[in-house]
């Protein structure tokens, strides 16, 4: 057990170091000149995404040469489902915000074992907010323990959403009592939930492993709950790395959110 705990502590420290280093790279590009390309229509990637990814992978690979990597900016590795240790990385979650010079993006890093996140770091280098967690160790913001909200009623609930979800009214109409806060980077939103700065996040647009694996652990270690809209936990590094929907919040309000969305979710988002 002692060796296992030491290893987890070392992995956790490595995630923090990689997030900080990646953040420095991202900050050097922010509001500067860089090229932007499209992986597909409406899905941009920038020189900054590629540079941050390269830095993070280099740091982790130097210490963990036999581990597997899943990143938004890398091809999916073959036989990844057989890997015991997988680093799941989004070098810049919220690329559109980053390109527009909006400080609502984050570096997201998670270590996944047995389809579960066990160490995580989410870093917004512009606001200098570094959120981190490891399994059984709680969640921290800049080194200080934080926790999810203990709110239990819908009135004045603060829910994180995105520009697209608001425009399409995917779920906002289900919560007329709530205050909606637009933050387009899902990893950053989940970190804000983990620290009690948002009461919850609902997403009906599909998310990939790299979008949510780190934030999932932050929320859970902060005392909250994250599931899909039928109450099942998310699993990572499966054959399909897409997740149709999620609800993340403090433990007290989570059953209330689940109940409200059960009948109101669009059919295309139901698991």
Q: Structural domains in the chain?
A: 2-146 (3.30.540.10), 158-269 (3.40.190.80)
Q: What is the pLDDT of residues 171-204, one digit of tens each?
A: 999 999 999 999 989 999 999 999 999 999 999 9
Phi, psi for 13 (deg, rounded to 5): -60, -40
The neighbour count for residue 129, using CB atoms within 10 Å, is 19
Going across the sheet that includes 224-227, the strands are: 179-182, 158-161, 200-203, 246-250, 224-227
Q: What is the pLDDT of residues 58-98, one digit of tens each?
A: 999 999 999 999 999 999 998 898 899 999 999 999 999 99
* Residue 6 reports pLDDT greater than 90: no
Tokens, residue 223: 């005392």
**Local structure of 10: helix, strand or coil:** helix
Q: Longest C-alpha distance within the chain, in Å?
A: 50
pLDDT of res. 270: 42
Tokens, residue 136: 């059984």
| Spatial separation of the C-alpha atoms in residues 220 and 226, rounded to whole Å | 7
Percent helix / strand / coil, the chain, rounded to 5: 35, 30, 35
Q: What is the pLDDT of residues 114-129, one digit of tens each?
A: 999 999 999 999 999 9
**Local structure of 254: helix, strand or coil:** helix
Q: How far is CA 262 from CA 49, 96, 160, 237, 265, in A?
A: 36, 30, 18, 26, 6
pLDDT of res. 164: 87
Residues forming a β-bridge with 182: 161
* Residue 56 reports pLDDT greater than 50: yes
**Local structure of 87: helix, strand or coil:** strand
pLDDT of res. 74: 96
Tokens, residue 113: 């074992």
Cβ-proximal residues to 112 (8 Å cutoff; 6+ apart), any chain: 85, 86, 87, 88, 118, 209, 213, 236, 237
Query: 170 and 201 in contact (C-beta within 8 Å)?
Result: no
| Spatial separation of the C-alpha atoms in residues 56 and 47, rounded to whole Å | 14
Cβ-proximal residues to 45 (8 Å cutoff; 6+ apart), any chain: 36, 37, 38, 39, 73, 95
Tokens, residue 141: 């913001």
Positive or negative torsion for Cα 68, 73, 78, 79: positive
pLDDT of res. 82: 86
């Amino acid at each position: 057990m002692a060796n296992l705990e030491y290893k987890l502590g070392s992995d956790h420290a490595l995630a923090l170091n990689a997030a900080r280093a990646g953040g420095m790279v991202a900050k050097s590009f922010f509001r500067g000149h860089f090229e932007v390309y499209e992986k597909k229509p409406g899905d941009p990637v920038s020189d900054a995404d590629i540079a941050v990814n390269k830095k993070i992978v280099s740091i982790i690979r130097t210490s963990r040469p036999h581990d597997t990597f899943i990143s938004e900016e890398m091809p999916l590795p073959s036989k990844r489902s057989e890997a015991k240790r997988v680093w799941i990385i989004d070098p810049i979650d919220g690329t559109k915000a980053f390109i527009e010079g909006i400080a609502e993006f984050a570096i997201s890093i998670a270590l996944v074992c047995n389809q579960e996140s066990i160490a995580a770091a989410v870093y917004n280098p512009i606001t200098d907010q570094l959120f981190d967690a490891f399994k059984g160790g709680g969640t921290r913001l800049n080194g200080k323990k934080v926790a999810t909200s203990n709110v239990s009623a819908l009135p004045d609930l603060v829910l994180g959403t995105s520009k697209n979800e608001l425009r399409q009214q995917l779920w906002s109409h289900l919560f007329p009592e709530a205050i909606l806060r637009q933050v387009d980077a899902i990893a950053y939103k989940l970190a804000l939930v983990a620290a009690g700065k948002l009461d919850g996040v609902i997403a009906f647009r599909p998310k990939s492993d790299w979008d949510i694996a780190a934030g999932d652990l932050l929320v859970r270690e902060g005392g909250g709950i994250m599931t899909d809209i039928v109450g099942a936990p998310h699993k990572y590094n499966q054959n399909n790395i897409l997740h149709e929907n999620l609800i993340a919040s403090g433990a007290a309000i989570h059953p209330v959110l689940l109940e409200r969305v059960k009948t109101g979710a669009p059919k295309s988002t139901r698991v």
